[in-house]
Chains A and B, each alone.
Chain A
């Protein structure tokens, strides 16, 4: 519950502790397809959207490898409509054959739009399979292949719902122009009588430490060569996560970052380069991705990246760089905090990680990172044996 009376709106956010990592490897993409089906009618409400729009509300949802999140924003006066809609679909879906049939097609089109009909659209399918041999992060949220989505059955949908969409696996956050007591009453009224269900306990194996460098080459009809490299990093709650996050800023955050300045501006080897990670709960991937200037050799481009990493491992970063990335982190958090919706979403995510108070303490963890930490962590992860490299060659 998060009161904020500076807005006339209320937000209701439900995060389910289920993501693509909980899928059967033979039925990937299911968590995301299921998210679509959550809009196909519930036991007592045939149509989710119409009553919400009638109440002046908007909603959306997303699925990641870790979580599935649903959110509604509407005028605070009509908060109860959101409780009604969300609780009924938590009680039970309508499980309509027609909805499954249509949403299978919609998701197939989504797959085509984002991953097939797009240059380099398959790069991350390949990267994930290279970097993860055991952990289910080895497939994308959208699914490993179209056939997994096309063959989904209504029985699969029912099983998934009763396994994962029980109150015991859900976190409800209500925010905005609301009162604590009112929220307590509404929550009890609408969610109180839904059987809690059985806690889903996941048994996901840790990805074993990578022992040797992995490489792959692809040739495709794209205009430019591209290079993708990634290294395994720590999980969301580890100190290393915060260090890795700041390392991506040093290397790829903005026009004064190291990779941009050295490789795009000075050496002109890349026309575009970025450094990021995926913010995953389990051990994630720190990534550098770039498009080569036409005519530049892949080996030269890769060596130049390695040189920058070596420099970081030798000398660490300057005081000025450290201040810069912390100032940037401070500003990013302040701008994020401007939106009630983002705050509600973050509260749910921290609770899912195990402790909602991380919302406040998380930022201190960033500010406590030292230059020494960055030096040591660079040495640890930028080890060639921890690296995965995809050379994506243009056939054009």
Chain B
């Protein structure tokens, strides 16, 4: 029988020369940039319209998300039903999402139908009318959904930890309460739409096996609208950070809960900070993947949880470093103790060569795997562009993964993984 104690030889992924496939940039007549990636074998594409219309710009809670949600709920020519029917008739998906700085519309469609769909997207961003009845249904159903979510400890924990890190009045820390939905006024939505969509700043990302005339079609349907480019002059809105002064919190959401949602997090600078990409590697060692220390210790050795992860938060102007898990209620204290002991381990000792090599190889392999689909590749470009980092960011990131030393990681751990810098929240 074959001798299976000997592993087959491998090529270390760190030896791979990997690059982000290039995307092309076009500019429409009104200044809107289009970043286009022509890649893939299926006759499909994705078009993503990003507006600077996130909750950063709202003056009343819930207005940005309500406006974004209701973009599909009526124009002067079509009812909500007719809009949905139009996209669904062509087998297309038109999704919307509202974030902090930005909010989006994303279309996934078969190439052959794209010209039936683009004019209707243009209609939505120019001519949405926000019927009162649609607002009422939205408010009622959103409240109901929120009531269900508020019973989940992980949902409550996610809201609170952001509020501790950034302040409840900061766009990154704010959260919507039941009464905020009821207070959404049609006039507020219309004003927000007019300023931040109809006449707003916009950038388009598109990827897939792109039709030859796609840019022409985008020019035809979007190039002459009163939209502005991403870099057009706009008011500067500052939101001061107001982190909580207390560091430890425990909330009983459900007295009969059998698990605790544990969140341990600290503020962290954004992607422009020179430590950010280096800390991405340290984070992987700590809790970024299945082979990480937190997962190895707290799930695979102790069995306290189904999963535990750490990550750098995906915000633009500030970030945070988060450790997140749902653990058995009876092992809450033990889990927290183990988390801090993993932080200490990284401060006290250098990561050994084998573990570091494994982390490097895993990260490179994972990037390589991520680069084989057009939507993932454009996602990386989008992340770079919207976060204002330069085009060498990707290459620099790969370089850091390949070359960062155990010593540098230990220094970073001592700089950032001090327990007193962390907020600690348990929601049962």
Chain A residues within CB distance 8 Å of chain B: 6-9, 43-45, 49-51, 53-58, 73-75, 77-78, 80-81, 83-84, 87-88, 91, 101-110, 112-113, 116-120, 189-190, 193, 221-224, 253-256, 261, 264-265, 268, 271-272, 291, 293-294, 320, 323-324, 327-332, 334-335, 337-340
- CB-CB nearest in chain B for A85: B7
A-B Cβ contacts below 8 A, count:
216
Residues of A within 8 A of B10 (CB): 54-55, 77-78, 81
In the complex, are the beta carbons of B147 and A44 less than 8 A apart?
no
Q: Closest A-chain residue to B46, C-beta based?
A: A335
0/1 string, B245-285, CB within 8 A of A gives 1: 00000000010011100000000000000000000000000
Contact B72 A255 (CB under 8 A): yes
**Which 6 pairs across A and B sit closest by C-beta, in order of nearness?**
A56-B365, A105-B303, A255-B84, A56-B13, A331-B91, A327-B91
Contacts of B83 in A (CB 8 A): 255
The smallest C-beta distance from A325 to any residue of chain B, in angstroms, reads: 9
Binds A, one of B37-45, B57-65, B392-400, B407-415: B37-45
A340:B144 contact, CB within 8 angstroms: no
B144 touches A335 (CB 8 A): no
What residues on A are CB-neighbors of B369 within 8 Å? 9, 58, 73-75
Q: Is the CB of B148 within 8 A of A224?
A: yes
Query: How far in angstroms is the closest Cβ of chain B from A156?
Result: 18
Cβ-neighbour of B147 out of A45, A58, A223 (below 8 A): A223
User: Among B88, B91, B257, B299, which residue has its beta carbon within 8 angstroms of that of A106?
Assistant: B299
A106 lies within 8 A of B145 (CB): no
Within 8 A of A (CB), among B357-387: 357-359, 361-362, 364-366, 368-369, 371-373, 375
* Distance between Cα atoms of A323 and B364 in the complex (Å): 44
CB contacts (< 8 Å) of B16 on chain A: these are: 75
Contact of A56 among B8, B72, B84, B368 (CB under 8 A): B368
| Contact call B91/A328, Cβ cutoff below 8 A | yes
**Which residues from A are CB-within-8-Å of B361?**
53-56
Do B327 and A109 touch across chains, with their CB atoms under 8 A apart? yes
Which of A43, A56, A264, A335 contacts B137, CB < 8 Å?
Answer: A264
A-B contact pairs, 25 of them (CB 8 A): A6-B372, A8-B368, A44-B4, A53-B365, A54-B10, A54-B362, A55-B10, A55-B361, A58-B289, A58-B365, A77-B10, A78-B10, A109-B259, A109-B326, A223-B147, A254-B84, A256-B89, A268-B140, A271-B140, A291-B144, A327-B89, A327-B113, A335-B42, A338-B44, A338-B375
In the complex, which residue of chain B has the Cβ closest to the Cβ of A73?
B369
Separation in Å of the A396 CB from the closest CB of chain B?
9
User: Which residues in A have their C-beta under 8 angstroms from that of B358?
Assistant: 50, 53-54
Residues of B within 8 A of A337 (CB): 42
> Which of A7, A45, A223 has the most chain B CB atoms inside 10 A of its CB?
A223
CB contact under 8 A between A256 and B368, given known A293-B140, A335-B108: no
Give Cα A103–Cα B179 distance, bound, in whole angstroms.
43
Contacts of B304 in A (CB 8 A): 105, 109
Q: What range describes how many residues of B lie at the interface?
A: 35 or more
- Asked whether A101 and B303 contact (CB < 8 A) given A77-B11, A84-B7, A265-B137, the answer is yes
Interface string of B28-72 (1 = CB under 8 A from A): 000000000000111110000000000000000000000000001
Asked if residues A110 and B306 are in contact (CB atoms below 8 Å), the reply is yes
Expressed in whole angstroms, the Cα–Cα distance for A140 and B22 within the complex equals 46
Of the candidates A117, A222, A272, A323, which one forms a contact with B153 in the assembled complex, judged by CB atoms under 8 Å apart?
Answer: A117
Closest A-chain residue to B373, C-beta based?
A: A338
Q: Does B187 contact A (CB under 8 A)?
A: no
Q: A58-B365, A324-B88, A328-B88 are in contact. Are A109 and B7 (CB under 8 A)?
A: no
Interface string of B279-309 (1 = CB under 8 A from A): 0000000000111000000011111111000
CB-contact partner of B141 in A101, A190, A264, under 8 A? A264
* A268 close to B5 (CB less than 8 A): no
Q: Which of A74, A91, A109, A330 contacts B305 (CB 8 A)?
A: A109
A62, B344: Cα distance in complex, Å: 34
- Give CA–CA (A338, B5) in the complex, Å: 37
B2 in contact (CB, < 8 A): yes
Contacting residues, chain A, for B301 (C-beta < 8 A):
102
Given contacts A55-B365, A264-B137, A334-B43, contact A7 B372 (CB under 8 A): yes
A88 proximity list for chain B (CB < 8 A): 4
B406 at the interface (CB under 8 A from A): no
Give B74-86 as 1s and 0s: 1 = Cβ < 8 Å from A's Cβ atoms: 0000001101110
Does the CB pair A58–B88 fall under 8 Å?
A: no
| B93 nearest CB across to chain A (Å) | 8
6 more A-B contacts (CB under 8 A) besides A6-B40, A255-B88?
A8-B368, A81-B7, A264-B141, A320-B89, A331-B109, A338-B373
A293 touches B72 (CB 8 A): no
Alpha-carbon distance A293/B141, docked complex (angstroms): 8
Task: Report how far A320 CA is from B358 CA in the complex, Å.
Answer: 54
Shortest distance in angstroms between A192's beta carbon and chain B's nearest beta carbon? 8
- Given known pairs A7-B372, A105-B303, A119-B151, the reply for A255 and B144 (CB within 8 Å) is no
Contacts of B306 in A (CB 8 A): 106-107, 109-110, 113
B90 within 8 A of A: yes
A117 and B258 contact, Cβ closer than 8 Å, known pairs A56-B368, A224-B147: yes
Hey, which chain A residues are within 8 Å of B302, CB to CB? 102, 105
- Chain B positions within 8 Å of A331 at CB level: 44, 91-93, 108-110
A8's partner among B357, B362, B372 (CB-CB below 8 A) is: B372
CA distance A221 to B137 in the complex (A): 25
In the complex the two chains form, what is the Cα distance from A153 to B238 in whole Å? 60
How far is it, in angstroms, between the C-alpha of A222 and the C-alpha of B144 when the chains are bound? 11
| Interchain CB contact under 8 A, A190 and B41 | no
Distance in Å: Cβ of A154 to nearest Cβ of chain B: 16
B200 within 8 A of A: no
A103 vs B108: C-alpha distance in the bound complex, in angstroms? 40
Contacts of A324 in B (CB 8 A): 85, 88-89, 91
Question: A106, B303: Cβ atoms under 8 Å?
Answer: yes
Docked pose: A348 CA to B247 CA in angstroms: 51
A113 touches B326 (CB 8 A): yes
Q: Which residues of A lie under 8 Å from residue B89 when comparing CB positions?
A: 256, 320, 323-324, 327
Cβ contact within 8 Å between B41 and A6: yes
Q: Give the distance in Å from the alpha carbon of A102 to the alpha carbon of B109 in the complex.
A: 45
Q: How far is the CB of B266 from chain A (nearest CB, A)?
A: 25
